[in-house]
Structure 1
């Protein structure tokens, strides 16, 4: 796509919605950023990750316990991504800019790049959700076909069966390949990345080196190459699958839209806020356990409309957004149970896998 598409000029829905959300926070006297409960959760998750890592690397538990701890490390790592890094990267974790940056940098320690994440996720995905050719999150070609506008291959007939494997590969491919590909190409998909400053460069390479030391060199030295390799694959696969499935359930299910801009005008049909609602879905919003673990990303509609509001407030503002959708005749996509969303995602992949 040669130029980024434009949204419909009307913003009446978004303007009214922002007014109501602002009124809620003014009347309640609450801050839009994280609360004490979020900071406590961040400490619990971070301490748990460090404790499991230290026990694995320096105390060499038995084979069975090591495998269990590698699974646990992957799950806790993804939970830190959902709860700490994600809010921090959006500037909603804290009122403090440096605390938000510190929270976002947990991704760098894990091996990712907060700079590339900001470009890919905050600036591209959140603006042009589910727009093929722009939103890099739905570009898993040639392995997966996630939009009817993407090329079809015969092996896509089986993608609803083999996607589990590729989701498990995501984290490992992300930290060892995708970040470097974006860095050296200077693009995310077809969208150029902004020029990196000297500080950006130092952070990128410095944290990549730190990750290689913490997650490869040190554990190889303490437990041996093969033990490290098996453990790292287990850890990376669990983290990758958890990250993939949560984000995929938000956008690639049966009831979400995949709008394309007009061929001549390059304009999308809806204003930005309505576009976000049509291309996004919630799941299991009544489950406090799931909401706690995935950092409120089961309230994905709320997150896409108000990414700078911390996820701890999503249950409250979801009522306002649902009411607005009813008044304006906009369909609010929601699956009451996580298993229903997974089933819908599998059905969506099966449909996309059929010949065009």
Structure 2
């Protein structure tokens, strides 16, 4: 399948890049993360290690263990939002090796930084919300996420059962989708770039490490039943948290799902305007939510400038909002997270009944 082609860049994108560059030149700030981000990373990674050690080697009482599993699932998601995500985009630190370390936290947690780079950085950020290309939209046949996907009778209830499938994201990611991409050599309909020998060794080495750390060793220490209960609970919390935060950016009522021309594969908009039409922010005034989700509530800023760390998004949002107003372009945002969640549920209901 020929990939979509965007229209030539318009003056909006050039002006936006100029104003953003001027901001960093004027303030003298680096576009990467700062000391506070390093501190947050140390806190989250330390919390994960502490929870893991206590659960596996000290075997707390059942009630306490389940509470720790819930917390551990949340910490896993927060590491993904705050550490891995910026590291994978090369914006966590000005030091390249530290970006690689941050990105590699995904490998330690069971995923593949190689597959993530192809799926998220390359495909999703380039072809956002284009059905058949953006792999993030493919939850078929269980859910219908775009107007162009086939609708099945069960989809009428997807706004009620979506939470179940979101809880399965982490488990399916670790045990199924990474392997599917590895053996098919595709991210959806996009060919996966060739893997080097080192890439293959890293993929399999960390997959085995993950099985040892999160399956074999815990079963040996606490037994099959307690491990299964804890693993499922931790994975469900991590999966749902990761899913809902990413879904609020693109599968809401305000977001568009542009379709390329059937024969030429050309898109109506240029890349930057396409990002504005397919992306929405939420709860950007909440410092707590911004801290927890690693700035991923500023999705407009992130999609326009993915190589800039999320610690700068609150300042960039003012520049982008003003530029959008001057050019008469949309800047889509939900003032509260609960409004975005409600819009996502309404969107799912619409897709299920349209």
Mark yes or no: TM-score above 0.5.
Answer: yes
CA distance in 2 between partners of 1:265 and 1:11 (Å): 20
Q: What does the per-residue CA deviation read over 1:313-344, in whole Å, with 9 as the maximum and x for residues that have no partner?
A: 00000000000110111111100000000000
Q: Structure 1 regions of 5+ residues with no counterpart?
A: none
Match of 1:19 in 2: 18
Separation in 2, partners of 1:303, 1:289: 18
Quote the residue 1:82 is aligned against.
81
Where 1:322 maps in the other structure, the secondary structure is helix
How far the C-alpha of 1:15 sits from its partner, in A, is 1.0
**Where does 1:311-330 land on structure 2 (aligned, <5 Å)?**
311-330=310-329
Q: For residues 328 and 37 of structure 1, what CA distance do their matches in structure 2 show?
A: 34
Q: Are the aligned partners of 2:9 and 2:271 in contact in 1 as well (CA < 8 Å)? A: no
Q: Which moved more, 1:55-64 or 1:5-14?
A: 5-14
The residue that corresponds to 1:275 in the other structure is 274
Rounded to whole Å, the distance in 2 between the matches of 1:280 and 1:142 is: 24
Alpha-carbon distance in 1 for matches of 2:271, 2:9: 9
> How many residues are paired up?
354
1:183 paired residue number? 182
- Deviation of 1:262 after TM superposition, in Å, equals 1.1
Q: Provide structure 2 residue ranges, at least 5 long, that are not aligned to the other structure.
A: none
Structure 1 counterpart of 2:206: 207
Helix, strand or coil: the match of 1:30?
Answer: coil
- Deviations 1:107-147, CA, capped at 9 Å, x for gaps: 00000000000000000000000000000001111111000
- TM-score normalised to structure 1 length: 0.99
Aligned twin of 1:156: 155
Runs of 4+ residues deviating >6 angstroms? none
Deviation at 1:273, TM superposition (A): 0.4
Q: Superposed, which structure 2 residues align to 1:52-71 within 5 Å? A: 52-71=51-70
Q: CA RMSD in A?
A: 0.6
The SS at the match of 1:270 is strand
Local SS of the residue matching 2:221: helix
Structure 1 residue 9 displacement after superposition: 1.3
1:138-188 Cα offsets, whole Å, 9 max, x none, are 111111100000000000000000000000000000000000000011111
CA distance in 1, matches of 2:9, 2:107: 39
1:268-347 to 2 correspondences below 5 Å: 268-347=267-346
1:113 maps to 112
